Amino acid sequence: MTVTLRPAEAADIPAVLAFWKVAAEDTNRVGDDSAAVAALIARDPEALRLAVDGDTIVGSLIAGFDGWRCHLYRFAVHPARRRQGIGRLLLDAAEERFRAFGGHRADAMVLRDNALAHHAWAAAGYASEPEWRRWVKRLDSR
């Protein structure tokens, strides 16, 4: 079948969460749950793009724009479907979305030990900025 891209819908949430367990890293983060994905879809229905083959999710990417910066999250391709151009389709769509908003630079949070992802991001023209370190504060009591 042919892979197509489309925005995620509320009905996709269980399948998206199951897909991330198979295809994404760090899936045990606080906040990666049905309520959070539903809130994302409600706030920005175009942000979470899915690559689908028929009814099967084979890739995902959140392309969030806060009015100033362009952020990429949850870039994942099913392990059995990697190196088939699915990631490139997702990134191209995200970058086009950002350009339409007037974005100038996209950034992605990538786990330090995820060497496979490092190669994928580098191949797509992204570069690590070693002088930056992410600082985090949890806002809930979970």
At 21 the pLDDT is 92
At 141 the pLDDT is 61
| Distance separating alpha carbons of residues 117 and 108, to the nearest angstrom | 11
Work out whether the CA dihedral 134, 88, 67, 32 comes out positive or negative: negative
**Which own/partner contact pairs does 17-20 have at CB distance under 8 Å and 24+ positions apart?**
19/57, 19/60, 19/76, 19/78, 20/60, 20/74, 20/76
The residue segments making up the domain with residue 51 are 3-123
At 32 the pLDDT is 78
Whole-prediction pTM: 0.90
Residue type, 118: H
Describe the strand order of the beta sheet including 3-7 as a list of residue ranges: 3-7, 48-53, 56-65, 70-77, 106-108
Query: Mind listing the pLDDT tens digit for each residue in 51-102?
Result: 999 999 999 999 999 988 999 999 999 999 999 999 999 999 999 999 999 9
Question: Is the residue at 13 inside a domain?
Answer: yes
| Distance separating alpha carbons of residues 1 and 47, to the nearest angstrom | 25
Question: Is the residue at 69 inside a domain?
Answer: yes
Question: Is the residue at 134 inside a domain?
Answer: no
Query: Mind listing the pLDDT tens digit for each residue in 7-64?
Result: 999 999 999 999 999 998 765 666 679 999 999 999 999 999 999 999 999 999 999 9
Query: Of 86, 94, 59, 99, which is closest to residue 75 (Cα–Cα)?
Result: 59
Question: Is the residue at 133 inside a domain?
Answer: no
Question: Is the residue at 140 inside a domain?
Answer: no
Average pLDDT score over the chain: 91
| Distance separating alpha carbons of residues 87 and 58, to the nearest angstrom | 10
Question: Is the residue at 142 inside a domain?
Answer: no
**Residue 61 sits in a domain of what CATH number?**
3.40.630.30
At 133 the pLDDT is 79
Residue 88 is inside which H or E element, if any? helix 86-101
Question: Is the residue at 128 inside a domain?
Answer: no
Question: Is the residue at 139 inside a domain?
Answer: no
| Total count of domains within the chain | 1
